[in-house]
Amino acid sequence: MLPGTFNARTVAQSSPNLSWVMIDCEHGLTSLQPNAAESIQAIQGAGAGSPSPIVRIPATGFSTGTSWQIKYALDAGARGVLVPMVSTAEKAKEIVADSRFPPVGRRGLGSPFAPANWGINASEYVTSANENILVMVQIETKEGVDNVKAIAETDGIGLIQMQAIICSMLAHAAHWCRRIIYWTI
């Protein structure tokens, strides 16, 4: 999605059949702060039945420091995150833990914005977020392909996106690619 509140609102209102809108902070020229938060507000302000804002966090390369990026997106009111460059089940478990409140995760509660965006109080938000935040991961490396079964079996992962480029680069993995590209768990 193109950056900016007007673009976000226009996309959100473009069809009553949209269930979500991706705010791309990795390749979409949208910074995580403050632009993603503003886009989330614009999408949620589109009215009743507006699509859920999902944020692709800007974790790039082989960075292991995604916790703060997930926190920013969810504290702004996103209904889910898409995390790029996930190659191991251990990383997938960390991402899920960063997306959930205790006792099932390690996310801290402090921002009043997310509960307000969801239209509920803080205690209701903790329960609802733990049950409803969508956690998605992208597999973009050979290591990720090799570990895809373990990543898919990680409790709390709701969707795996496998980049088409990895399928073409790893011909021996074609059988996995056909099964996973649109595999929702």
Catalytic residues: 27
Cβ atoms 3, 32 nearer than 8 A = no
Torsion of Cα atoms, 170 then 174 then 175 then 180, to 10°: 90
Q: Are 53 and 23 in contact (CB under 8 A)?
A: yes
DSSP state of 21: E
CB 52 within 8 A of CB 118: no
Amino acid at 91: K
- Answer for the pair 71, 83: CB distance below 8 angstroms, yes or no: no
Whether omega for the bond prior to residue 58 falls within 30 degrees of 0, making it cis, is no
